[in-house]
Amino acid sequence: MFKRLVIAASLSASALLTGPATAQSAPFDSAQDGGAPLHRDLVLPYLLQLPDDSLKAAEHAPLIILLHGRGSNEADLFSLRDALPKQYAIVSARAPGVLGDDSYEWFESVAPNGRLDGDPISLRQSTASIEQLRQQLIDKYHFDRRRVYLVGFSQGAIMSYEVALTDPKAFRGIGVMSGAFFDSLAPHVSASPSLKPLRIFISHGDADTVIPVAYEHEAVSRLQALGLRPEAHVYRGMSHEIRPDAMRDLVAWLNAQ
């Protein structure tokens, strides 16, 4: 079962990547999520909120790209947009893997030796799509390319690691909510000067049974070994969700950037 809004996004190894979402000929769909149109003019469908709701205000604005969890969609995290700092442009992207009506995933999950991980092909495809989306958004709206942040939940949090750690110069920071640093990613990342400027926020619940908190502890250790200094929070009694206190800490971190 998947929860909306806080997105309890399962990482079941039996999940299947059924293929990319089909782009339609119209540049955007009818109103979604309180009137925001679903744009389909770039590599991934997305919802958009500009600073002050104007294209002029978007120029040189910092950008947050939201990445939802498995079984969810772009409207889920976008529902939190009013809680995010007003100076940011907000884009919420739809994952390319179709699970069902309004239900998507970034990658097919696997569990080698009982460990959470992802199918390498779908991980690579989604990584490339997110990187391409970032560049397309900058080209189209003229956002500040030096201040682009990925903020993801569950599978979206995992994708934040996959994308930013392999292309750190493209991102100022990542907000990782209830995620994991996969074993398959570790061999492809090493300590380097390009990694050091990357800012990282982590939130996780100690009652999370979907992605246990042990994965958060492991991620922190791996990041520190890479020379990074993540701001990590573990919330007592929080399950696979985004609680108000975790959201407040994320917003405080974003405001400090």
What are the residue ranges spanned by the domains of the chain? 45-255
Residue spans of beta strands (DSSP E) within 21-124: 28-32, 36-39, 46-49, 63-67, 89-93, 97-100, 103-105, 109-110, 117-118
Token output for 29: 């769909």
Q: pLDDT per residue over 16-60, tens digit each?
A: 222 222 222 233 343 455 568 999 999 999 999 998 766 676 788
Q: pLDDT per residue over 123-133, tens digit each?
A: 999 999 999 99
* Confidence (pTM): 0.88
Q: Is 84 helix (H, G, I), strand (E, B) or coil?
A: coil
Rounded Cα distance between 39 and 155, Å, is 22
Q: 45-255 falls under which CATH superfamily?
A: Alpha/Beta hydrolase fold, catalytic domain (3.40.50.1820)
Placement of tokens 């890479």 in the chain:
226
Rounded Cα distance between 86 and 72, Å, is 25
